[in-house]
Amino acid sequence: MALVLRDPQGASAMFTSALLLFVASSVSSMEVLVAQQINALNATTVKISCTFTSCYKLDISKFSMNWTYQATRNDTEETFMTFLKSRITPLRTEHFWDRVKFAGNLDKNDLSITISDVQLTDKGIYNCYVRNPPDRAEGHGIIQLSVVTELPPPRDSTIAVAVGASIGGMLALVILSMVIIKCVRRHKKQELISDEQKMEEEGKTDGDGGTEEGTKNDFA
């Protein structure tokens, strides 16, 4: 499922719209929420958000995530942040060196990062990968970052942002409730299965008990 919001005003009106566009990964119990398009101003610090939802509580011993960068879709992905020794750790790549920092919160399923002193060469595609076993699906968020050298004129952007933000908020709510429903269904299914197993087992025990008693009676 991919939810994409087109901006009628053109990209320039989207300047402060980091959280306008939400994209959820394909149909699975793991959903990744990201802003699909972020515009950053040269030499400032930009936050790139990535959060995920999962039916399962995060288990440090199984959890895995990566942030990768590629200048264009045709370029190879360069991993610049990963989960190492129970911590989200920046890797000192030639491109980012010490400019990337983890800015999220694992307790809140938040894998966001910041890039400081944004350069024009930082524009490109940022991938946020996450795996949270026993959830089998891998979450994948894709963010397109553009870097501009000056703020666009403020015309119509407030309206576009307000409309976009409310749509974005609604989408986030819809996605969240879908995940909750999925998780509840999954748990119900599991309960049903275990109930059936219990009944079968109880049935067996009753039968065995009966035979045992019968045998005892025969001996008595």
Ligand X SMILES: *[C@@H]1O[C@H](CO)[C@@H](O)[C@H](O)[C@H]1NC(C)=O
Choosing from 26, 59, 62, 64, the residue that interacts with ligand X (CB under 6 A) is 64
The answer to whether 126 contacts ligand X (rule: CB under 6 A) is no
Residue burial 79-110, b: 16+ Cβ < 10 Å; e: rest: ebbbbeeeebebeeeeebeebbbbbbebeebe
Which residues inside 103-122 make contact with ligand X, applying CB under 6 A?
120
Q: Which tokens belong to 122?
A: 């930082």
Q: Of 65-104, which residues contact ligand X (CB under 6 A)?
A: 65-66, 72-74, 82
d(CA 71, CA 108): 29
* Residue entry with tokens 């919001």: 5
Task: Choose between 53 and 66: whose C-beta lies nearer to ligand X.
Answer: 66
Contact call for residue 131 and ligand X (CB under 6 A): yes
Q: Is residue 166 a contact point for ligand X (CB under 6 A)?
A: no
Select the residue interacting with ligand X from 61, 76, 121, 149 (CB under 6 A): 149
Cβ(112)–Cβ(47) below 8 Å: yes
130: contact with ligand X by CB under 6 A = yes
> 74 or 217, CB closer to ligand X?
74
DSSP letter at 83?
Answer: E
The number of residues that bind ligand X (CB under 6 A) is 15
In the bound state with ligand X, the residue whose beta carbon lies nearer, of 49 and 171, is: 49
Which residues within the stretch 25-44 sit at the binding site for ligand X (CB under 6 A)? 42-43
| Binding status of residue 129 toward ligand X by CB under 6 A | yes
> Among 124, 80, 118, 120, which Cα is nearest to 102's?
80
Please tell me whether residue 55 binds ligand X under the rule CB under 6 A: no
Cβ atoms of 116 and 132 closer than 8 Å: no
CA 39, 22, 132, 77 dihedral sign is negative
Min separation Cβ 61 and ligand X, Å: 14
Q: In this complex, which beta carbon is closest to ligand X, that of residue 49 or of residue 66? A: 66
How far apart, in whole angstroms, are the C-alpha atoms of residue 103 and residue 114? 6
Residues near ligand X, by CB under 6 A = 42-43, 64-66, 72-74, 82, 120, 129-131, 138, 149
